[in-house]
C-alpha cells in the first residue's frame, strides 16, 4: 500500500487541480471569465445590467423629448420642477413605452448576451463613452 502526500502530488508532473468558489460556467472559458457560449443570466444581470442597457437605448430612442426636457431644465434653473412638468410627463410616457415593449426587452437582452460572450471570448471590455459635462 502506497500513500501519497501532497508533495508527491505536486512533484509528480500532473496538472494541479484548480479549485474555485465559482460554478464552472462562471469561471471557465479561455480567459477564466466564464463560458462564452453560456446564455444563462444571473440575478444581477436581469435586475441591473439589462435594465441599464434598456434605459440607455430608450433615451437614445426618445432623443427629441430628452433634449426638450434638458433645454427646459437649463432655462428654468431652480424652477425646473414647476415649469418643466409637461416635458417630464412626455419623457416618462416615451420611456415607459419602450420599457413595456417586449420586443425591445428581448433585443436588449440578446445584445447584452452578445457583448458578454465577446468579453468572455476575448477578455477585452467594451469601451464606454463618457457623457459630456454640462458644467464649466
- The span from the CA of 136 to the CA of 123, in Å, is 36
User: Grid coordinates representing 114?
Assistant: 452578445
Q: How does pLDDT run across 65-114, given as a tens digit for each residue? A: 999 999 999 999 899 889 999 999 999 999 999 999 999 999 999 999 99
User: Grid coordinates representing 34?
Assistant: 466564464
- Output the pLDDT for position 136: 44
SS3 at position 81: helix
Q: How does pLDDT run across 28-69, given as a tens digit for each residue? A: 666 666 777 788 888 999 999 999 999 999 999 999 999 999
pTM for this predicted structure: 0.67
- Angle value at C-alpha 109, between 105 and 115, nearest 5 degrees: 145
- The span from the CA of 21 to the CA of 87, in Å, is 49
- Output the pLDDT for position 54: 96
Amino acid at each position: 500500500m502506497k500513500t501519497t502526500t501532497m508533495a508527491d502530488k505536486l512533484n509528480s508532473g500532473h496538472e494541479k487541480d484548480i479549485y474555485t468558489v465559482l460554478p464552472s460556467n462562471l469561471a471557465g472559458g479561455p480567459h477564466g471569465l466564464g463560458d462564452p457560449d453560456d446564455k444563462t443570466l444571473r440575478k444581477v444581470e436581469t435586475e441591473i445590467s439589462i435594465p441599464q442597457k434598456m434605459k440607455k437605448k430608450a433615451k437614445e430612442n426618445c432623443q427629441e423629448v430628452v433634449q426638450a426636457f434638458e433645454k427646459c431644465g437649463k432655462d428654468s434653473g431652480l424652477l425646473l420642477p414647476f415649469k418643466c412638468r409637461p416635458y417630464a410627463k412626455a419623457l416618462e410616457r416615451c420611456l415607459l413605452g419602450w420599457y413595456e415593449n417586449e420586443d425591445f426587452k428581448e433585443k436588449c437582452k440578446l445584445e447584452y448576451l452578445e457583448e458578454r460572450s465577446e468579453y468572455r471570448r476575448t477578455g477585452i471590455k467594451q469601451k464606454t463613452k463618457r457623457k459630456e459635462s454640462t458644467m464649466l
